[in-house]
Structure 1
Amino acid sequence: MSLLFCWSFAVAFYALCMQGAFSGKHEKRLLDDLLRNYNNLERPTRNETETVVVKLGLTLQQIIDVDEKNQILTTNVWLNLEWTDHNLQWNESDYGGVSDLRIHPKYVWTPDILMYNSADELFLSTYPTNVVVEDSGKCTHIPPGIFMSTCKIDITWYPFDDQYCDMKFGSWTYDESKIDLQLQSEDGGDTSGYIPNGEWDLKGVPGERTSNQYTCCPEVYVDVTFKIHLRRRTLYYFSNLIMPCVLISSMALLGFTLPPDSGEKLTLGVTILLSLTVFLNIVTENIPETSEAVPLISTYFNCIMFMVASSVVLTVVVLNYHHRSPTTHTMPDWVSSSDHRWAGGTASTPSSSRDFRSDLERNTSRTTRYVEPIPRWVRTVLLQWLPWLLRMQRPRKKITRKTIALSNKMKELDLKEKSSKSLLANVLDIDDDFRQIRTLSSTPTSSHNGGYTRLLGRSYEEGGMPSSQSSYCFNNTKELQNILKELRFITGSMKQDEENNEVVMDWKFAAMVVDRFCLITFTLYTIISTIVVIITAPHIFVA
């Protein structure tokens, strides 16, 4: 029983298959009738004077790649070609209701539409799909393909740029009198099935029909150009390029807050400079290599690079100021107008102990000139005006406009006073009383020195030998010279140490002022340059 059932099922299945095989007799007969005398090289017109109207449309499916360096756009596109073939018309009722056919393009005439700006090796990138032919003779050909087209990349606003890539289609051999190529839709390309790209945002695909006359041929050729408008998404570049650059530059700013005595101030600046250089080398690998324009991000990186390099240079200046001292930089306090020089309040000893009075007179008559231990511009700019502008104060010293003016006035008065005092008075830091001694000694009425001289003279006249009173005066003079020597040495050393310490403190404060000034200046520079990039960019908040 089971064998009979299997045999019946096999016979029924074979009968159904044979019936299906003979069901397309009308379509076969239609194809035989249409293609019997059909020539696919012949233009499908009633006479040679007519023009074949071909409508071209484009459906953009996906942006596969935008190669900025090689300036190539890779897209997945469906072309839509429509024309009327008068040799492929039939009456639907004569062929069992067959209203359309699918014919391979090698059997029928198709327009030789190519993409003029193709960058593909084969130049033709479409797949040969069937042509849909209707009973009215209307032919529809929709070949898909991966198109590689040349695209001029404008990197002026990279990475906040818009790109306009053309896809230019036209007949390669038929001029305008043979084929009239027209846009299928005035809206341009169809983007209803577009797959969004992670790097580029599609803004539109407008189309334009143009007629051109090329130098090779006298005829006019028609082309349809689809202009793909792309806008780069900037979230990736903002988070991976701009923010790390800003953070690295902020670390360079923190170097100005590091104390110079720590010993790591210059090391930090050089390390940041090297890290920024390595980061920029990585960034430049993704920037298009062209000299037609400087990308906006390259301009920003160059500004930050200049700021970091300048911070390293100014850090060297700050360290130089901080470690300056009178032992490393010649800073004399007093210089005599003659060849006899005094350093730090010390003077050379008199040539003879017997000529003490004449040595005092020679020293008191010598005019002295004060030499500024710190250059005047440094004192004026770095120790007075810049601290006042930056609101910096020194311990036990208040810096205002009044104190600056008063300090300059006191400095001038001190210079005048020191230049008018004798050398010994300046060394001992006392009033100038030796001028009275010189004045009294030059008067006819003798004083102490005058009496001493006359006494000496009488002693030599009487006995040829000085008396005990003259010996006592000589001993006192020698002791006074020794005391003055010791006093000069002690007071000179103390005064020199005090002045050296004050000079060192002035240089250190000048270094602090330069540090604070650079910190504020470069901070403003970084903020302003970042804001300028954000404002200048055509769009920056596109995800």
Structure 2
Amino acid sequence: MKPLILLLTALCFHTVETNTLDTTRFLIQDLFQNYSKDIRPIEDQTKPIAVNVDLDLISLNDFDEVEGTISMVVVLYISWNDQNLIWNPSLYGNVSYLTFKQDKIWLPEMFLCNPADSLTPIGNGHHKVTVHANGSVTWQPSDLLKATCTPNVYRYPFDQQTCQLSLSSWGYYSQQVKITISSPTFYFNFFHQNIEWKVISSRTEVWSGTFDMGYFKLTIERRHLNFLVTVVIPIIMLAFVNPFVFLLPFNSGERTSYSITVLLAFTVYMTVVSDRMPASSQPISYISYYLLSLVGISVAIVTTNIFQIRIYSKHDDDEPVPKWVRKSYLFTRNLFRHREVKTNDQLKKSFGTEYHGIDIKGPQLLDTDSQNQNGDVFYTSVLPLAQVTEKSPTENLPIIYEKQQEVITWHMVAKMIDKMCFFLFFILTIATTMSYFISAGAH
């Protein structure tokens, strides 16, 4: 008889502890019998209800620097304690938690306070909530958030952007809802990489004033290789090709068209870059300054080239080279040659003979027929040119002047200016390009 009683007792307890459809239905009916989702679920209504919010980033869809917006798919992990939803699991078949639609209970609806389009609650009515026996509620709404984000394109395309999502339980003061964030960073449990942007870091913080607000800040960096290959490197190539116009012959007829073509190419690239930049003037991208500098250099090259063609086309008979231009030409030529042209050097080039120790002043005659016994050449007669008639048999000897004026033409002047302009603009292009990369990497 006793074993039978024990068996019946065990069956009764087993029936009570079983989680059945009826026990769950009874539990829900008891929980929501006097439940109002319009009242904050806290016994002391003078105290705020603590709401913890964490963010899980699913994907970074886009960052539009022109519009100044960022869009991402996120999941919010929101939890709080609902004192109206507490039960004893042993009385309801050991049911320790329930999952049902979110519209059945009070929710601390979260709003994105810096939206790019409209101010609407995050999530929709299809999400579920999980309620545990101790009254803790877990809600995980997800949504595509599009927030405003002021871009800083000064280092474009080597730029980093820091954007934030400002979340708040709109409509509740800080005395009613207290927002906390348990994680100092984002969660990346299901994150998918973006092809254009790379996530560098994330951080969270809470601001408390009239109402509480949670700030979720994300720092991203542009993957700049594509822009370097398609835009920056071709611009640099054009910049270094530009000064080579001064190496083209004047009679080629292509100098003007060459320089103007490069100038037009720079203007096209300025349009390409400006289409990717925001309309704001603060700050302006350094690549815009770089392109503007290259356009200025190109305009200077086109202008200089036009004047060069005009100089080369001058006729020496109609318009002789002025004295100051002649001196400037000789000075510049000596700089390029790193030495001065001496009189003995001129004599070598003219006669193929070196005259040692002879002080030649004024028009002179050199008598090479008179030699001493050793066969050395010596200076036998120094006579003015007007007196040399029949007195000397050296009438056919060359006359050496102290200073023979070198013939300098406009063609020679134009070619010398070409050399100077080539080196000047080439060095200027190098300096401008280096300053771009140094400034872009320094900030």
Answer yes or no: is 1:146 the counterpart of 2:144: yes
* Separation in structure 2 between the aligned mates of residue 257 and residue 157 of structure 1, nearest angstrom: 35
Q: 1:167–1:226: 8 Å Cα contact kept in structure 2?
A: yes
Aligned to 2:434: 531
CA distances 1:158-193 after superposition (whole Å, capped 9, x unpaired): 2221111111111212111111101121x2211232
Aligned with 1:131: secondary structure? strand
Counterpart mapping for 1:207-218 below 5 A: 207-212=204-209
Aligned to 2:335: 389
* Separation in structure 1 between the aligned mates of residue 200 and residue 208 of structure 2, nearest angstrom: 26
Q: 2:101–2:128: 8 Å Cα contact kept in structure 1?
A: yes
Counterpart mapping for 1:425-504 below 5 A: 502-503=407-408
Aligned to 1:233: 223
Q: 1:108 to 1:69 in 2, by over 3 A?
A: same
Aligned to 1:339: none
Q: 2:160–2:219: 8 Å Cα contact kept in structure 1?
A: yes
Task: Please provide the CA RMSD for this pair.
Answer: 2.7
Of the candidates 172, 176, 184, which is equivalent to residue 174 of structure 1? 172
* Counterpart AA for 2:35: Y
Q: Percent identity of the aligned residues?
A: 26
Q: 1:26 to 1:386 in 2, by over 3 A?
A: farther
Q: 1:237 to 1:169 in 2, by over 3 A?
A: same
Shift of 1:197: 1.2
Q: 1:280–1:301: 8 Å Cα contact kept in structure 2?
A: yes
Aligned to 2:203: 206
CA distances 1:271-309 after superposition (whole Å, capped 9, x unpaired): 221222223222221122211222111011111111111
Counterpart mapping for 1:76-87 below 5 A: 76-87=73-84
Answer yes or no: is 1:109 the counterpart of 2:106: yes
Aligned with 2:102: secondary structure? coil
* Separation in structure 1 between the aligned mates of residue 65 and residue 241 of structure 2, nearest angstrom: 32
Aligned to 1:59: 56
Which shifted more, 83-92 or 158-167? 158-167
Q: 1:125–1:145: 8 Å Cα contact kept in structure 2?
A: yes
* Counterpart AA for 1:380: K
* Separation in structure 2 between the aligned mates of residue 125 and residue 119 of structure 1, nearest angstrom: 14
Aligned with 1:313: secondary structure? helix
* Separation in structure 1 between the aligned mates of residue 325 and residue 91 of structure 2, nearest angstrom: 108
Q: 2:200–2:219: 8 Å Cα contact kept in structure 1?
A: yes
Aligned to 2:130: 132
Structure 2 stretches of 5 or more lacking a match? Answer: 1-18, 347-361, 363-383, 388-404
Aligned with 1:206: secondary structure? strand
Which entry has the higher C-alpha Rg, 1 or 2? 1
Aligned with 2:103: secondary structure? coil
Q: 1:161–1:538: 8 Å Cα contact kept in structure 2?
A: no
Q: 2:115–2:147: 8 Å Cα contact kept in structure 1?
A: yes
Q: 1:170 to 1:196 in 2, by over 3 A?
A: same
The number of aligned residues is 373
Answer yes or no: is 1:401 the counterpart of 2:340: yes
Would you tell me which structure has more helix in proportion to its own residues?
A: 1
* Separation in structure 2 between the aligned mates of residue 159 and residue 153 of structure 1, nearest angstrom: 12
TM-score by length of 1: 0.64
Aligned to 2:12: none
Answer yes or no: is 1:302 the counterpart of 2:292: yes
* Separation in structure 1 between the aligned mates of residue 309 and residue 244 of structure 2, nearest angstrom: 15
Aligned to 1:156: 154
* Separation in structure 2 between the aligned mates of residue 83 and residue 322 of structure 1, nearest angstrom: 86
* Separation in structure 2 between the aligned mates of residue 304 and residue 131 of structure 1, nearest angstrom: 60
Aligned to 1:17: none
Shift of 1:99: 1.3
Shift of 1:389: 2.8
Q: 2:113–2:119: 8 Å Cα contact kept in structure 1?
A: no
* Counterpart AA for 1:534: F
Shift of 1:143: 0.4
CA distances 1:202-246 after superposition (whole Å, capped 9, x unpaired): 11120011123xxxxxxx211110111111122122111111111
* Separation in structure 2 between the aligned mates of residue 388 and residue 162 of structure 1, nearest angstrom: 51
Answer yes or no: is 1:44 the counterpart of 2:37: no
Shift of 1:62: 1.2
Aligned to 1:284: 274
Of the candidates 85, 92, 114, which is equivalent to residue 95 of structure 1? 92
* Separation in structure 1 between the aligned mates of residue 135 and residue 342 of structure 2, nearest angstrom: 101
